[in-house]
Structure 1
Amino acid sequence: MGDYFQNGVITTLPNLSDRPAAELAADLRTWGGDTPITLIIPSLYSELDGPALDRMVEIIAGLDYLDQIIIGLDQATATQFERAKEFFARLPQRHHVLWNDGPRLRAVHERLAEAGLAPREFGKGRNVWYCLGLFHASAIGGVVGCHDADILTYDASLPARLFHPIAHPEHSYDFGKGYYFRATETTLNGRVTRLLITPLLRALRRVIGPNEFLDFVDSFRYPLAGEIAMTAEVAAAIRVPSNWGLEIGMLAEISQHVGPERVYQVDIADGYDHKHQSLSADDADRGLHRMSADIAETVFRDLAIDGVLLAPAAVQALQQDYERLSLRAIDQYEAVARLNGLSFDRDYELQAVKLFAQTLEQASGIFLDDPHDQPFSPSWGAVAEQMPEILEAIAAAVTDDGKS
């Protein structure tokens, strides 16, 4: 059951009535003339054969309030790109598939790299950044949202609830983020949020004192949620991280550009499940090992943007506070699991905390070696100002790929 308690500095919009998705969609259709809606879906090619995307596309095909859909396709050969075009051809809405590995978009990337404007790393952040570039090139305006391509529990209410607050003509929101609890019918998930993000934010607050950025991020019930919506103006203004710290890094950018009174989080699912990452304790380049390190480093760098540079002594105190708070979190969530009849592997949770503590130490070392580095791709507003012709080049590349 939802509740209407407002925690933190942003607005929380719970699900109190299970309002039908069709009613929300009817509102969005009514408002669509004034506020066009674009949906971005970053995807690996492998998701086409995964358990979620085919069903997701069937549902999205029925969302007639969407004016435009942009699919960013990574890790696809030419043959696979042709299959992807056929896969998404069932969408009746205007849609585009960005073949990020194709020669045309690679040529665009090289032009941007020569100007020092291209993303530094491959991955979801780079994919989303190029999708936002095409969104700006389309000049459709309105609002743009994004969600992943591997949501096993996807239904029509998820995008409708995500977009409804920001599209409502009597609201003045500029950014929104979904929230939910991560679980299957038998197991509590979401360890990176439960055991890394929340304890880390609260440990940082103990070490450095009150901080608006920490208060802002800690206001989100699920800060790592990939489901976001924003106005075209905000989308043009924010930089985008290119590593696994995408979601936290984007919140840092939002905190710089949007007042908290114009930000909401909305309950978009009764439960949420998607593709899981392994701990990968022995491989720092994979799974939750890589993800947690990038997230922690991103938090440190976001604080640096906010004027807070952590000294080595502060980092040591932070690690001690983090370990204590994360162990306390295990106790809390074990009680949650017991009350709700969910299985809870305490040993695995302890392994996760041990790994996260190690990656926190690694990330702090990387940060202290170069505290002023910023692994962000520039805002599309800045790119368009420096290279006004590049938006047309992106649009032409995507159009030509679609025809070939």
Structure 2
Amino acid sequence: MDFNQDFITTIHDFNADISYLEKRLRTLSATSPMALLIPSLYEELQRPALTTIKKHLKSCDYIKFVNVCLYAETQEQYHHAVEFFSELPQHVNVIWTNGPRITELISKLAEKKLNLLDYAGKGWAVWLGLGLSSLQADIIALHDADIVTFDRSLVAKLFYPVAEPEFGIAYNKAYYTRLGLETRAMHGRAVRLFVAPLLATLEDVLGRNAYLHYLRSFRYPLAGEFALTSVLAVNLRIPCDWGLEVGLLAEVYRNAAPKRIAQVDLGFFDHKHKAVGDNPTEGLQKMCTEILSSILRTLTESESVVFSKGHQTALQVKFRRVAQDLIRQYFVDATCNGIPYDRHREEMTVESFEKVIPIAFKKYLNEPVASRIPDWTRALAVMPNLRELLHLAVEQDMAEAKATNAR
């Protein structure tokens, strides 16, 4: 049985009674409203995962708000999304992240010399969703729209550690076992074959480092599922590249004491899988480039580490050796559990990931300041009623969609 604790609090899966957690969450929600945030592309509505998520959320009556941050190319797509989520019993806001009303609202910030018009992608969706959710709720949880293995226990496990006042937890991040549903293949390649050996290698090269120790405490640092207080939410700068998850961990590191940070085991987990990519500008290779450049920036910003060409060389040399040792360990673990494991393919993936190291260093040197959306406290200093105006824009979009759908 695994009771091990590390630098941050780890909440294990010991087959807890989820009905107990949900009962407690119902009590807590009376005084601490909870909002669930789901960033989504319109295409996710066409896939079975989101339908399953919707079905399970119907029984999560402790959640007061469900805020869907939707990228839709047309008004028809947005209207369809409003109809799709209309059967949920919670108060649903479908935020059209690239819609004309929100674009017009954000342009008013640009007129006041805070230009956020160029931001896009998941980071932009998360920023908008956190703004609206922090207006409505004390506790916010976020998960993606493509979780194939979703059930209602997932959100209860995310919300409860933050909601329980005795714990004092401000941020709770998920970790899980990435096994394919049908093939039982090991997934999570970016963590297993890049982030894990990368962090171990950086610690070897740099010596003991507080931020690296913090990152290595997370069992799945690239998990996109987390919960946090609304107070913390408005103080986070949101990264706008493929290093979103590790960039958010850097922001939590800056804004919350370690004793207020936790991680929770969500069990077996499966969702969409990215291709490795044929070059460093594609797929997981691009993601790994952004992850490493984000880590390098944070080590300089938070720990005053100054990198040289020698660091890059040492990192490349040691990275492959550490990754190869891990592959041997994965092979043993997989074989003993009857899991198919292609060592040659894993080795080739590591070789692809190794090639992004000099590219990430170059990116770090050429772009030392990360692309992060200013936190909501900065935006509210420029326009104090911005969240209320955002809420109004969403309500108007929703009302228009419901009127059209009713015809």
TM class by shorter-chain length? over 0.9
Q: 2:400 matched to 1:401?
A: no
User: Retained in 1: the 8 A contact 2:139–2:229?
Assistant: yes
Report the equivalent of 1:43: 40
**Deviation digits for residues 107-145 of structure 1 (CA, Å, limit 9, x no counterpart):** 223333452342754211111011112123xx2341111
> Are 2:264 and 1:280 equivalent residues in the alignment?
no
**CA distance in structure 1 between the aligned counterparts of 2:337 and 2:397, rounded to whole angstroms:** 50
User: Partner letter of residue 2 of structure 2?
Assistant: D
The 5 Å alignment of 1:352-363 reads 352-363=349-360
Aligned to 2:169: 173
1:267 has 2:265 as partner: yes
In 2, Cα distance between the equivalents of 1:390 and 1:339?
Answer: 55
Q: In the alignment, is the contact (CA less than 8 A) between 2:191 and 2:222 conserved in 1?
A: yes
Determine the structure 2 residue equivalent to 1:300.
296
The CA deviation at 1:296 is 1.3
Inter-partner Cα distance in structure 2 for 1:299 and 1:85: 38
Q: Deviation at 1:71?
A: 0.4
Contact 2:131-2:376 at 8 Å conserved across structures: yes
**Contact 1:120–1:242 under 8 Å retained in 2:** no
Q: Aligned ranges for residues 97-112 of structure 1 at < 5 Å? A: 97-112=94-109
Distance in 1 separating the partners of 2:260 and 2:275: 36
Q: Which runs of 5+ in 1 are unaligned?
A: none
SS where residue 39 of structure 1 aligns? strand
1:56 aligns with 2:44: no
Give the TM-score of the pair, scaled to structure 1: 0.95
User: Match of 2:403?
Assistant: none
Q: Deviation at 1:340? A: 0.7
Moved over 4 A (4+): none
Alignment of 1:311 with 2:312, yes or no, is: no
User: Counterpart of 1:6?
Assistant: 5
After superposition, the C-alpha distances for 1:224-268 in whole angstroms (9 at most, x for unaligned) are: 111101111110111110111111001001111111111111112
Note if 1:150 corresponds to 2:150. Answer: no
8 Å Cα contact 2:72/2:78 also seen in 1: no
Amino acid at match of 1:158: L
Q: 1:87 aligns with which of 75, 84, 88?
A: 84
How big is the shift at 1:6? Answer: 0.8
Distance verdict in 2 for CA 1:313–1:111, change over 3 Å = farther
Q: Is the 8 A contact 1:76 1:99 kept in 2?
A: no
Counterpart for residue 333 of structure 2:
336
Contact 2:236 2:375 in 1 (8 A): yes
The whole-number CA distance in structure 2 between the counterparts of 1:232 and 1:39 is 12
- 2-structure distance, mates of 1:141, 1:40: 11
1:180 match: secondary structure:
strand
How many angstroms apart in 2 are the aligned matches of 1:207 and 1:266?
30
- Percent identity between matched residues is 37
* Contact residue 109 and residue 382 of structure 2 kept, 8 A: no
CA RMSD of aligned residues (A): 1.5
Q: 2:149 and 2:109 mapped to 1: Cα distance?
A: 37
Letter in 1 for 2:152: A
TM-score, length-normalised on structure 2? 0.94
Q: What is the rounded CA distance, in whole Å, between the counterparts of 2:389 and 2:185 in structure 1? A: 47
Question: Which residue identity lines up with residue 385 of structure 1 in the other structure?
Answer: A
CA contact (8 A) 2:312 2:357 kept: no
Q: How many residue pairs are counted as aligned between the two chains?
A: 396
Listed as ranges, the gaps of 5+ residues in structure 2 are 401-407
Find the counterpart in structure 1 of residue 236 from structure 2. 238
Match of 2:19?
22
State the secondary structure of the residue aligned to 1:5.
Answer: coil
For the residues of structure 2 that align with 1:132 and 1:386, how far apart are their CA atoms?
Answer: 17
